[in-house]
Amino acid sequence: MSRGLGTLLLMSLIPIVSASVWADDDASETAEIRLFDDFESQLTLDWKPLRPDPTHWSLEKHPGKLTITTQFGSMHLRRDLPLTKNVFLIDRPVPLRDGFVVTTCLEGFQPTATWHQAGIVLFDDEDNYTKFVLEFNSRTAHASGVGPVWNLLREVAGESNITKTLIQGDVSPKVWMRLTTRGRFHEYATSTGGETFTVHGELPWGDGSPKSIGLMATNGSSELAGDIDATFDVFELRSLTTEERNDPRSVDRRKLVGSWKVTGCEISGKSFEKAPLSEFTFTESSVVIQEKERRLGSEFSLDASRRPKELHLSSFLGQTGLQVRAIYEFEGDQLKLCIALKPEAPAPTEFGTTQGDNRLFIRLERTKD
């Protein structure tokens, strides 16, 4: 980002909200919030570094930018290691009930050793956080392959889930990283120009109101990784735009909430008068399925950009740890689902089943209550 006059013009367009505004619950319902730090010679926001180590961060090493030099230390699962240092945090504003967006520009970060990483963190404590980082991945550690990845990781009460996207080709010398929070869901996206972002995925975590929000860089649990600089050009925290509030995936997630009774069922080309599944009850992040005498629970995510739209279950019929893919469509108070029953199989491309295709097609109707 250009400095001098360009920065002054940008700053004049961005309202820097004082702490007093955050303290007013009613104001948070309607106020458009935008906090910004360009790290130009000083820290503009009220940063509170967690476990600060002044030998490994600087505003002078790369003038006009915040540089955090990675070092050995981790918050992920293991507690016999030093904890991550220089986690730069600001206190969360009062609840922005419809969500928020965090964006940073990361320059010159070229991770080459396990677990070089740098990016954004939403933080409650060391056992409860979500981080979105550019990270180096080793084949032995994860099936996505060797090389840099975009990593969205959540930890809840010391248990973690990870979504990784392998980066094809070289890492751009300048990347924008964005974490968009809508309720419990956190969507991670990147850009090489700062305008058009590519969405890679999402995870549910918390209730949309983390205690702190900020930046981090570390070598994680590897004592062998050398220290490298992670240089952050800007940090921005803002309210959702109208378009972001009305994101199709979020709209569909809200439409799913409630109970749906099964009115028709077909498995591998065979129709059933009495379906083995009788009811689906959705929240915005999970579903409980009534199957005969059992109630089965699963988290789910949506991909409303595909045609047909896709619904991904984190587990189904007791198969934990393996994703099950489905397609969905609303028809008023009716819902159609076609599910590929084999874990990790591609989502169906049309509604209905044929003999031996190992798919489940069900019609559901929203219950009155």
Determine the length of the chain. 369
Give 86's DSSP letter.
-
pLDDT(114) > 50: yes
How many other C-beta atoms are found inside a 10 Å radius of the C-beta of residue 196? Answer: 9
pLDDT(28) > 50: no
Give the residue with greater pLDDT, 293 vs 83: 83
CB 359 within 8 A of CB 272: no
Measured CA to CA, the distance from residue 237 to residue 15 in angstroms comes to 11
Measured CA to CA, the distance from residue 253 to residue 282 in angstroms comes to 9
Residue 208, by phi and psi: left (phi above 0), alpha (psi -120 to 50) or beta?
A: left
CB 312 within 8 A of CB 324: yes
Structure tokens, 359: 């798919």
- Cα atoms in the 13 Å half-sphere on the side-chain side of 320: 3
pLDDT confidence of 12, banded at 50, 70, 90?
very low
Averaged pLDDT for residues 315-322: 62
Phi/psi at 31 (nearest 5 deg)? -70, 140
* Res 320: pLDDT: 54
Give 163's DSSP letter.
E
* Res 14: pLDDT: 38
* Res 259: pLDDT: 96
Phi/psi at 354 (nearest 5 deg)? -130, 165
Helices (H), 4-97: 5-13, 19-22, 25-30
Structure tokens, 6: 């360009």
* Res 317: pLDDT: 57
CA 189 to chain centre: 8
The domains spanning 5-245 and 251-366 adopt the same CATH topology: no
pLDDT confidence of 97, banded at 50, 70, 90?
low
Strand 174-182 vs strand 100-107: parallel, antiparallel, or unpaired?
antiparallel
pLDDT(309) > 80: yes
pLDDT confidence of 255, banded at 50, 70, 90?
very high
Measured CA to CA, the distance from residue 227 to residue 314 in angstroms comes to 36
CB 299 within 8 A of CB 204: yes
Q: pLDDT averaged over the chain?
A: 87
Domain 251-366 belongs to what topology?
Answer: Lipocalin (2.40.128)
Give 361's DSSP letter.
E
Tokens 């699963």 locate to 298
- Residue 120: name the closest of 224, 230, 223 by CA: 230
Structure tokens, 260: 């749906």
The C-alpha angle 125, 131, 135, rounded to 5 degrees, equals 135
Structure tokens, 249: 């995936």
Domains of the chain by residue range: 5-245, 251-366
Tokens 């397609």 locate to 327
> What CATH class does 5-245 carry?
mainly beta
Task: Give the predicted TM-score (pTM) of the model.
Answer: 0.82
